[in-house]
Amino acid sequence: MRQVTASGQTVEDAVQSALKQLNTTEDQVNVEIIDEGKKGILGLFGSKRAIVKVTVAEDPIQLVKDYLTDILTGFTNEIVKVEPFVQGNTITFELTGEKLAMIIGKRGQTLNAMQYLVQTMINRKAKERYNIIVDAEGYRERRKQTLEQLAHRLADKATKINKHVSLEPMPSFERKIIHGTLQDNHKVETYSDGVDPHRHVVIKPMK
């Protein structure tokens, strides 16, 4: 972490001095005012210099990348490349390498756990709120297609037997896929039930 303590006739002077030492700009730092200083009589007698502590803000993308790399290093001996892709406040980290099936886990459970960890970490440290997606070998898109097919199949089942049909517990972003897939199906309605980690989607036939 790059950080300096600087002084100046005013707070602004002290900040500018720190920025010069750090070779950066004000939008890239966090400023802590230690002492606002004092002008003194006629600007001379009893004056006191302002003191600030200026810290270069951490890059949230690099922060998550390093954190995710540390998790992967402790999880597998294989080399896994972590590549970030940014779209607005959504950051997708694409994992590439050998033997990623173990990292994905059964129905993406391991991948989901990693995603939850990095999502929690970044939103504790960053000023802005980010939506984090951790993907491997295009798993997220394949899983989305599987969930859409499952939603349609179970909706048909619910209307056929005229009973509620409950799906397996899923994380919130997967439940949203089920809800979204069936939102235009006027034969059924969906809602989430239960408490995490057992919260699940229920498909209810319309009367």
Could you tell me the strand order of the sheet in which 165-166 lies?
165-166, 200-205, 188-193
Domain boundaries, the chain: 3-56, 60-137, 142-205
Q: Walk along the chain (207 residues) and give the pLDDT tens digit of each residue.
A: 688 899 888 889 889 998 899 888 888 788 899 988 887 665 556 678 889 999 887 788 888 888 888 888 877 777 889 999 988 889 999 999 887 888 899 889 999 999 999 898 888 877 778 889 999 989 999 999 999 999 999 999 999 999 999 999 999 999 999 999 999 999 999 999 999 889 999 999 997
Class of domain 60-137: alpha beta
C-beta separation of 201 from 147 below 8 A: no
Per CATH, which fold does 142-205 belong to?
Ribosomal Protein S8; Chain: A, domain 1 (3.30.1370)
Fold matches, 60-137 and 142-205:
no
